[in-house]
Amino acid sequence: MIQKILIANRGEIALRIVRACRELGIKTLAVYSEADVQSLHVQLADEAICIGGPKSGDSYLRADRIISAAEIADVDAIHPGYGFLSENAKFAEQCESCNIKFIGPKSNSIKIMGDKAVAKHTVRKAGVPIVPGSDGPVDNESEAVKIARRIGYPVIIKAVAGGGGRGMRIAHNDVSFAKEYHVARAEAEKAFANPAVYLEKYIEKPRHIEFQILADSHGQILHLGERDCSVQRRHQKLIEESPSPFLTADLRKRMGKAAIRAAQAAEYENAGTVEFIVDAKHNFYFIEMNTRIQVEHPVTEEVTGIDLIKQQIRIANGEKLDFDQGDINFDGRHAIECRINAEDPARNFAPSPGIIGLYYAPGGHGVRVDSHVYSGYTIPPYYDSMIGKLICFGSSRKTALERVYRSRHQDHDSPPQGHHERSHLHRRTRHHGLYGRLSQPDAARPFFLIRGRRTRIILGFSLPIRDLPGGTIPVSCFAVMQTPDFSTSAFDDQPALGQIQINHNVIASIVRLAALQVKGVAGAGGGLVDGLSDLFAKRESNHRGVKVSEDGPDTYGIELRLVVSYGSDIGKTACDVQVAVRKQVIAMTGKNVSRVDVIIEGVRLPSDAANESRSDDLWPESPSAD
C-alpha cells in the first residue's frame, strides 16, 4: 500500500503530483536542487530534502542521491514526472531492486520503447504501421546513403536514443545527406552519449497525433483518445489539443487500436503515450512511445474527466482500472493547451531567466493553469524554459478557442500617445503569441530591480498592459525587462555597398546620435562606473551599449542600452527612443530596421542626489559596494 511518495522532479509537474497525492491522502517528499528552494512544490510537500547543486547533473539526474533520500525518508514509491530520469530504465530497475515502487512502466518496457530502432521492430511485429526506413542503426555513411536512396528523398536522420528534437536532421539529396548525417551523429553523442542514428522517410506537412494509454497490472489496456501536437517550434511542442480536428471517427478508432497493440507488444503497464504521424491522405505511422506522463496530459484529463496522475498511482498500487474502453467518451468536450515559456522573443526565443515581479494567473469557467511560479519567484537558468501551461476547455473547439483568446488577451486600447504605430517590440511579442500593448506611456513606473556588483541599477518598468496572459508581465515579454550579456567590443566592418560603406559601426553611430536627441536620455549603457558619472563621449570609440545584427538582407536589428536622467519618464523615453532610432537609421542608410530593443540599464542621478544617503527603493545597496 502506497502511503508516501518521493517526487523526483521539479516545477509544475512536481506541484501537480503533490496535489494529486493530497487528494488521495498520500504523503509527499520533495527532492530539490539548491536553485529550487523557492519552488512551490518544495513549500507544499509534506517533507523536502535538498539533493545537490543547481545543475541537473548534480541533483535531478543523480539517481543515487534520489534513492538515498527515498530510503532515508522511508517512502513507498517514486514518481519521476517527465524528463530527467522518467524514461531511464536503469533508474526504474534500481527502484525495483530497492523494493520502491516506480510509478511508471517496468524497466524492461522502458528498455524496449527507449531504443527507437527496437521499438519500431517490436510494434511492426504487432501489426502497427511504421514509417519506411532503415531496419536499425546505420553506422557508416556509405551504407546510409544507399538506404536513403532506396527510401527516397527527403529523409530524416534520427538519434536512436533521441528526444526533444535533438539529433534530428533532414536531408533532401546526397550532397546534404553527407553533412547532416555527421551533424546528427555529433548531436546525438553530445545529448545522449550515444551517436547511433537511423533513417526514415520524411513525411512533409504531417500531423503529429499521439494517443494516451492506461494499462493496469491485470492485463487491461485502454486508450483515452488522441492529442494533436502539430503546432511545434524546432520539433518542440507548443500547443496541443484534443480531440484532433483532423481525425475522423473511423481513423480515431483504427489508430486507438494500433496504439493498444503497441502497448501490448511492450507488455506495458501504467500511463504512456504512443505517437504517430499522419499524412494528408490519413495514412498513419508509429513514431515512438513515451513511457511516462506527458507535459500535455491535462488536455486528455479535461476531455475525458479522468485524473491521469491519480490513475498512475492507483495502477502502481496494484489496483484495477475501474472503467473500460466503452466508458470513455470523446464527444461533447474539447481542450487546448498552450505552453508558457520564459523566453525572449526579441532574441530568437532564447531562455530568459530572472525574477517575476508580478504574476496573476488567468481564470474563470473553462480555464486551468498548471504552474509553479508566483510573484517574486526567481526563474533559474539551469532548466527547461517552460514555467506553466494554460489549458482551456469547453463543449466545442470554438468555445475552447474563445477561452484561450479571453485568457491571453482582452479588450484592446489605443497605441502610445503621440505615436502612429505600435512599437516594434509590441508587434513582435504579439506576432509570436505573447500579447501586450502599451497604454499611455506616461503611466510607466519602476517594476523591478536587479542590482549589479558595482553601482549599476538595471530597471524594468510596468505599464498598463491588458493583453498579456491573465494581466501578467512575464520577464520574457519586453526587452527593457531583460539583462542579457552581449559582447561590447567593436563590430567587424561589412563589405561596402555601392560607393558608401554601410557597416555595423556606421549604424551604431547613427543609433547613438538619434538616441541622444531624445529627452530623458542621459547617456549610453553597457557598463556604468562608480558614481554613475561616466560620460557618453568616453565610449564613442568602442560602441559599448549598442549591438547591431543583420536580421536579413539589408535588414538590421538593433539593441541599445541607455542611462536615463533622474526623474525622467522611463516608459515614454524607451518608446521615444525606439521611434527616433528607427526613423534615423532608415533615413540615413536606406536600410530596413526589423527591431529596436531598448534596455534601460541605469539612472543618472544629479550631482547633489548622488552624494545623499540612498535609502529609497532605488538604492537598496551602497553605490560603492562591489
For 222-243, write each residue's pLDDT tens digit: 999 999 999 888 788 999 999 9
Quote the crossing angle between the two packed helices 424-431 and 570-589, to the nearest 10°: 100
**Span of 85-99, 313-327, 382-396, 527-541 with lowest mean pLDDT:** 527-541
Contact between 199 and 147 (Cβ < 8 Å): yes
User: Which pLDDT tens digit goes with each residue over 180-210?
Assistant: 999 999 988 888 888 999 998 998 888 999 9
| Predicted local distance difference test score (pLDDT) of residue 556 | 83
The residue with greater pLDDT, 427 or 196, is: 196
Helices (H), 424-533: 424-431, 504-516
Lowest-pLDDT range of 40-54, 198-212, 505-519: 505-519
Q: For residue 457, with 0-12 CB atoms within 10 Å meaning exposed, 13-18 middle and 19 or more buried, which class applies?
A: buried
Q: Average the pLDDT over each of 171-185, 385-399, 446-460, 588-602 and give the range with the smallest value.
A: 446-460
pLDDT at position 594: 83
Share of the chain above pLDDT 70, in %: 77
Write the pLDDT tens digit of every residue in 309-347.
Answer: 999 999 999 999 999 999 998 888 999 999 999 888 777
Residue 607's pLDDT is 47
What structural domains does the chain harbor? 4-103 (3.40.50.20), 133-201 (3.30.1490.20), 207-407 (3.30.470.20), 424-610 (3.30.70.1350)
- Alpha carbon distance 460, 457 (integer Å): 10
Look at residue 298 in the predicted model and tell me its pLDDT: 98
Report pLDDT digits (tens) over 596-617: 888 776 776 654 433 333 323 3
Segment 117-146 mean pLDDT:
92
Q: How confident is the model at residue 426 (pLDDT cuts 50, 70, 90)?
A: very low
In this predicted structure, what is the pLDDT of residue 330? 86
Q: Which of 134 and 475 is assigned the larger pLDDT?
A: 134
Cα angle value 87/214/166 (rounded, 5°) = 30
| Predicted pLDDT at 502 | 67
Residues near 343 by beta carbon (within 8 Å), at least 6 away in sequence: 349, 350, 351, 352, 385, 476
The model scores a pTM over 0.85: no
Residues 524 and 544: beta-carbon distance below 8 Å: yes
- Residue 288 confidence (pLDDT) above 90: yes
Reported as a pLDDT band with limits 50, 70 and 90, residue 621 is: very low
Q: What percent of the chain has pLDDT over 90?
A: 52
- Of the CA atoms within 13 Å of residue 71, those in its CB half-sphere come to 12
If one compares 217 and 475, the residue with the highest pLDDT of the two is 217
Q: What is the pLDDT of residues 48-71, one digit of tens each?
A: 999 999 999 999 999 999 999 999
In the predicted structure, residue 173 carries a pLDDT above the cut 60: yes
Q: Which residues are catalytic?
A: 292
Evaluate whether 23 touches 310 at the Cβ level (below 8 Å): yes
What pLDDT score was predicted for residue 236? Answer: 86
Q: Give the angle subtended at the CA of 533 by the CAs of 527 and 536, to the nearest 5°.
A: 65
pLDDT of 79 above 70: yes
Other residues' Cβ atoms within 10 Å of the Cβ of residue 18: 24
Residues 68 and 91: their CA atoms lie apart, in Å, by 13
CA distances from 522 to 399, 453, 595 (A): 50, 22, 22
**pLDDT confidence of residue 504:** 75
Q: Look over the chain and give the mean of its residue pLDDT values, rounded to a whole number.
A: 78
Q: Is the pLDDT of residue 461 over 70?
A: no
